[in-house]
Amino acid sequence: MGRMNRNEIIRTARSLGLSPNKRLGQNLLCDSGITQKIIDSAGVTAEDSVLEVGPGLGALTGGLLDRAGSVTAVEIDAGFARFLSQRFAGNARLKLIHGDFLKMAPELGFTKAVSNLPYYCSSEALFRIASDYRIPSVYVMLQREMARRITAAPGSPEYGALSVSLGIYYRARTLFSIPPECFYPRPDVVSVFIALDLRRDVELDGEKLALFHLLIKSAFWGRRKTLIKALSESPHIALDRKTVADVLAGMGFDSRIRGEDMSIADFMALSEGLKEAANAAVKG
């Protein structure tokens, strides 16, 4: 079976009783023009080993297989997985895994990830890709609100814990928007296709990375708090107010600075400055 158009995708889903769960954000891409635009934007070539999470009926999978050296598609839904195994039967370049991407043991060696991620687990899937896979180039479709948070700059309204926590691994950029009518069922939100490029300038070992994420969680647990107040009163880590103030002063920051105004580099420097004070200070 080759590329499917919108009517074929809808008819196939209905005939198989595989109507996606709209509440969970399982929206099938059914616009061939957008599908081609995604494949082109990702720049997939025969040199690539591609990971796809949540392939559904294979709208992207087919295009990826036309270009990639290999594709590993992970599908949690048994019905979709059965359909994909039949649709792409005999294609040696496809490895289809029926399982939960968030729970399966990671595989290494992927050069790209290209996915229309289900809305309900998009942030968890991205962090799994970032922390366990470290894939150099990631191209994902997300709901617009989440895409804005991921790509937000310090000081902007959308900038927060997600911006920084994912930003330690990847530099994010917006590529284009996809209107609701390009999906079945039609979602209530606009989707955005973004690119994530692995950062080569950041190297944190396990201990430093754990502290970094605790500081981010603490810095943003209460919006609009000063960083000194947020860290010293955090339910996640025990830090003395004076210690935090002294480290920030040593970095040249005003005592009224908030987490929303700190860049990723600032948080990295803060993590380094607080590492001794943070030893054995993690709260249960």
Question: The domain that contains 267 carries what CATH number?
Answer: 1.10.8.100
Q: In the prediction, which pLDDT does 119 show? A: 84
Q: In the prediction, which pLDDT does 280 show? A: 41
| Confidence tier at 276 by pLDDT (50, 70, 90) | confident
Query: Among 139, 166, 198, where does a domain finish?
Result: 198
Q: In the prediction, which pLDDT does 204 show? A: 64
Tell me the pLDDT tens digit for each residue of 153-207.
999 999 999 999 999 999 999 999 999 999 988 888 999 999 999 998 776 677 7
pLDDT of 52 > 90? The answer is yes
Is there a domain that residue 172 lies in?
A: yes
pLDDT of 120 > 90? The answer is no
Is there a domain that residue 32 lies in?
A: yes
Is there a domain that residue 243 lies in?
A: yes
Give me the sign of the Cα torsion angle 37, 177, 184, 26. Answer: positive
Packing angle of the helix pair 32-42, 59-67 (nearest 10 deg): 40
Q: In the prediction, which pLDDT does 247 show? A: 93
Question: The domain that contains 157 carries what CATH number?
Answer: 3.40.50.150
Give the residue numbers spanning the domain of 216: 206-278
CA angle 141, 187, 178 (to 5 degrees): 40
Q: In the prediction, which pLDDT does 100 show? A: 95
User: Comparing 10 with 54, which gets the higher pLDDT?
Assistant: 54
Residues 141 and 90 in one domain: yes
Q: In the prediction, which pLDDT does 1 show? A: 46
Residues 80 and 182 in one domain: yes
51-55, 90-94, 207-211, 242-246: which range is least confident on average? 207-211
Backbone phi and psi for residue 20, each to the nearest 5 degrees, phi listed first: -65, 155
Is there a domain that residue 1 lies in?
A: no
Collapsing DSSP states into helix, strand and coil, what is residue 255? coil
Is there a domain that residue 284 lies in?
A: no
Residue 193: beta bridge partners? 141, 176
Query: Among 172, 198, 224, where does a domain finish?
Result: 198
| Number of neighbours of residue 236 by Cβ within 10 angstroms | 17
Query: Among 177, 198, 219, where does a domain finish?
Result: 198
Is there a domain that residue 176 lies in?
A: yes
Ranges of H-type helices in the chain: 6-15, 32-42, 59-67, 78-87, 122-128, 144-151, 161-167, 206-219, 227-232, 241-250, 264-278
Residues 60 and 102 in one domain: yes
Residues 97 and 220 in one domain: no
Q: Supply the pTM of this predicted model.
A: 0.91
Residues 149 and 264 in one domain: no
Residues 77 and 156 in one domain: yes
Tell me the pLDDT tens digit for each residue of 12-34.
888 877 666 655 556 889 999 99
Residues 175 and 50 in one domain: yes
pLDDT of 118 > 90? The answer is no
Tell me the pLDDT tens digit for each residue of 215-238.
999 999 977 899 999 999 999 988
Is there a domain that residue 283 lies in?
A: no
Split into its structural domains, the chain has a count of 2
Q: In the prediction, which pLDDT does 21 show? A: 61
Average pLDDT over residues 124-133: 95
Residues 147 and 215 in one domain: no
Collapsing DSSP states into helix, strand and coil, what is residue 180? helix
Residues 109 and 223 in one domain: no
Q: Please check whether residue 251 is in contact with residue 263, taking contact to mean a CB–CB distance below 8 angstroms.
A: no
pLDDT of 278 > 70? The answer is no
* Dihedral angle computed from the Cα positions of residues 236, 242, 246 and 249, in that order, rounded to the nearest 10 degrees: 90
With b for 16 or more beta-carbon neighbours within 10 A and e for fewer, the 101-129 pattern comes to beeeeeeeebbbbbbbbbbebbbebbbbb
pLDDT of 262 > 70? The answer is yes
| Confidence tier at 284 by pLDDT (50, 70, 90) | very low
| Whole-number average pLDDT of the chain | 90
Q: In the prediction, which pLDDT does 19 show? A: 63
Residues 69 and 161 in one domain: yes
Is there a domain that residue 90 lies in?
A: yes
Average pLDDT over residues 114-123: 91
Instruction: Check residue 97 and report its DSSP letter.
Output: E
